Chains A and B, each alone.
Chain A
Amino acid sequence: VISALVFLAHALFDAALGWFLLSWRNRSLAADHLPAALLLGMYAETLFVGTLLFLGVPLAVAVVTLLGAAALLGAIVRRRGLAHFPAPRGTRPRWFEALLLLTLAEKIAFAVWQLARTPLYFDDALTHWAGRSRALYGAVNWSLDPHSPVWLGYDLAARHYPLLTVVWRAENAILRGGWDDLLARADGLLFFLAAVATVWLAVFRFSHSRWFAALAAFVLSAAPLQVWHAAAGYSDIAIEAFAVAALAALLRQEWVLAGVLAAGTAWAKNDGLVVFMPPLLAGAWLLQARAEAPRWGWVQYLLGCATLVPWLLVKLSLSLGVAPNQDRLSWHPDAPGLFFSSVLLGPTSSILWLGVTAALLYALPTLLREPTGRALVAILGGASAALFFVYTCTDSYRWLENEGTIHRSMLQLAAPALVIACYGLWRRLFHSGSPNQG
């Protein structure tokens, strides 16, 4: 119970921190900003503490410094004027929304049951994510000396992986005064909810259709692998949440926020540097071509991305690479067939990717006719091409062949792809004033 309370308090702290940061530039925030505020708070907090750690500050001191800095920020923002919290409008849920909430409650209950009743179980969580986090919290197995056997955690874990979830979980243990398996992975539930909420609100923002937005949120939440990752302790679902939040911010033309959230994908896992940051950058460039976009939107976006510089400098100075096994390039001719059989027709994503592909092919002519559509096609096309290249032309092919990571990579892309497919479908099907709209 104490762990659950610490977890909830930590999540609320991050949402408040993110809200303060958003209020700095924007006083008219909406419900869309709630999941973005949570993710922004988690990113800012862990990057701040992580930077202090790399400067040699002990974790507990870094956490106290963070609390002081957050209190100062809160005081300043309150003096400048805090954005109003979006009050519920009091509209009753329609039947399809009630059903969605019911199915969502089942997913949350299953994830909470896993958190409460089972030990940490899955391999990468034991090593790279919760394992390193526990080593950081315990302090005896964490060193910044590259010659130490416990350099950035012991040698069971990948040292070049970034630290968002690692730091967040270690902070949980500091606040709790001890480690447990709930705090070691409960953040997955936050990322799951943030991704579903972002899809729901982003689709509603451009469609103004409650049923269409609810359908999109349902499709994401019911994708079979999602709920497992809500309690697995991996960082793939964190990437998904940050990527879709960055995309939604781009659609709202909130350039700095979009850049920061795009940087969050790379602070969650190295995949973000390869799969999401370049296509989102290209998408921001194309979105700027819209007539109503500000002239310097792309530069603002880059400024948001630049918040990742401390981690990139650490990577550079410690020669931490991006991936351990991609030193050979070679085409694997059976890879496209494996993509088809395991991703498009396999049970892990079921028919999600067939549906997304069909929707995009149907909507492509419409999307290519407008700047926003072209930007979205560039984002999804770029991310898909990056994934396809990684799995067909590098040593990562083996993780496609044995289905070791391919579905997790597709999970990272699922929420952004769903928003883009929904945007295309909406423009093609209903935008021209169909009576079905609304």
Chain B
Amino acid sequence: MTLLRLLLVAACFLSAGALSAQEGKLHPLASNVVLDGMIVVLDAPEKWDHDSETVDVVWDSPEGRRFLFADFARAGRHGYDPRAQPSWRGSAAWVSANTTGAFKFPSLADEWDIFMAPERWRPTTVNALRGHRFFACSWDVLLLLVLVAAALAFYFVARCAPAVALLGGFALAWVALDLRTMTDHFFIVSALEEQRRPLPILTEAKAFSDRAAEVIGPGSWALDHTLSAHPLAAHYFGYAFAEHRYVPIAQADYLVALEPAQGAMVWQHGPYRLLKRDAP
């Protein structure tokens, strides 16, 4: 087992940075297995959930091709569903994950658990939602089945005209969609309020900028080029300091940076630094 783990660790390091969390600490789940229809059930620490870390599942095909599945970690033991991934087909020489767990055929409880995985509040949520899956199928495709089933019921039981029955089916499917959406809203609110979960990415940027804005005062500021590695944080600083004089870097009294740069550090929080510069 130790040898296998060492091999997996070495193999994952060679796979050039595909893993995002807990890199190198792989836990074997299965070897020489058929993947079709199977899922993984993994134990994730609460911190991973709070920090929007991912659980990573890695597997090799018998030919030695390596694949990765990643999903947001949920605190505790939960099911994760790689079945939508085209590479989760056929046989695997081994399957491992960055936390302990099991490789298994899903029970009804597992399917429900996967379905109830909440929508995540992320920077991209305003553009596109991740959605849900139930019985290895997209929730939105299942809603089409709900629509058809309800329409058939309206047609045969209530004797509605076909088009009216379809309209009724659509309405019921939309009600189902809304119930699931409201559950997501409930989870998001309770997660942030009860568990004090921070919003991903910007938490430290906000704490930094609240104090940095006071320090900058009537002075001028600019963003150092190092912040291009954190574009969302850079944009947040642009918003947070919008009432303070913005100037080109060469003329700035204060520089907001990720790394040590020219100037004396007057405030630091997380990876962000506020540097006071000599009068230009």
Contacts and interface: CB of A to CB of B under 8 A. Distances in A.
A330 interface: no
A224 B238 contact: no
Contacts of B147: 351
A425 B171 CA distance: 14
A352 to B, nearest CB: 8
Most chain A Cβ neighbours within 10 Å, of B125, B127, B144, B231? B127
A339 interface: no
Interface residues of A, number: 59
A331 interface: no
Interface in A88-139: 103, 106, 110, 113, 117-124, 126-127, 130-131, 134-135, 137-138
A121 B123 contact: yes
B163 interface: yes
Contacts of B163: 362, 425, 428-429
A404 B124 CA distance: 8
Given A141-B246, A228-B125, A119 B143 contact: no
B185 A110 contact: yes
Contacts of B232: 123, 126
Contacts, number: 144
B243 A179 contact: yes
Given A118-B192, A134-B243, A347-B132, A224 B177 contact: yes
B10 to A, nearest CB: 33
A48 to B, nearest CB: 23
Interface in B183-241: 185, 189, 192-193, 199, 202, 206, 231-232, 234-236, 238-239
Interface string B159-170: 001011011001
A358 B232 CA distance: 39
A228 B192 contact: no
B131 interface: yes
A158 to B, nearest CB: 12
B79 to A, nearest CB: 19
A121 B199 contact: yes
A436 B164 contact: yes
Contacts of B167: 425, 429
Contact of A131 (B130, B185, B238): B238
Interface in B116-140: 121, 123, 125-132, 138-140
A156 interface: yes
A185 B259 CA distance: 32
Given A222-B178, A224-B177, A351-B140, A346 B128 contact: yes
Interface of B is mostly: helix
Contacts of A405: 127
A227 B126 CA distance: 10
B34 interface: no
A342 B170 CA distance: 19
Contact of A106 (B126, B164, B182, B234): B182
Interface residues of B, number: 51
A348 B129 contact: yes
B143 A350 contact: yes
A82 interface: no
A64 B147 CA distance: 55
B139 to A, nearest CB: 7
A106 B246 contact: no
Contact of A228 (B126, B171, B174): B126
Nearest to A229: B126
A210 B18 CA distance: 55
Given A138-B242, A225-B129, A122 B123 contact: yes
A403 B132 CA distance: 17
A32 to B, nearest CB: 24
Contact of A350 (B140, B185, B245): B140
B140 A345 contact: yes
Contacts of A342: 128
Nearest to A173: B243
B246 A154 contact: yes
A234 interface: yes
Nearest to A347: B131
B154 to A, nearest CB: 12
Contacts of B238: 126-127, 131, 154, 156-157
Given A154-B238, A218-B171, 19 more contacts: A106-B185, A118-B192, A118-B199, A123-B231, A124-B126, A127-B235, A127-B238, A127-B239, A131-B242, A137-B242, A141-B244, A222-B178, A225-B129, A232-B126, A346-B131, A347-B138, A350-B177, A425-B163, A425-B167
Interface of B: 121, 123, 125-132, 138-141, 143-144, 147, 161, 163-164, 166-167, 170-171, 173-174, 177-178, 181-182, 185, 189, 192-193, 199, 202, 206, 231-232, 234-236, 238-239, 242-248
Question: Which A-B residue pairs are the 3 nearest by beta carbons?
Answer: A347-B131, A138-B243, A134-B242
Interface of A: 103, 106, 110, 113, 117-124, 126-127, 130-131, 134-135, 137-138, 140-141, 149-150, 154, 156-157, 179, 215, 218-219, 222, 224-225, 227-229, 232, 234, 342, 345-348, 350-351, 354-355, 358, 362, 403-405, 407-408, 425, 428-429, 436
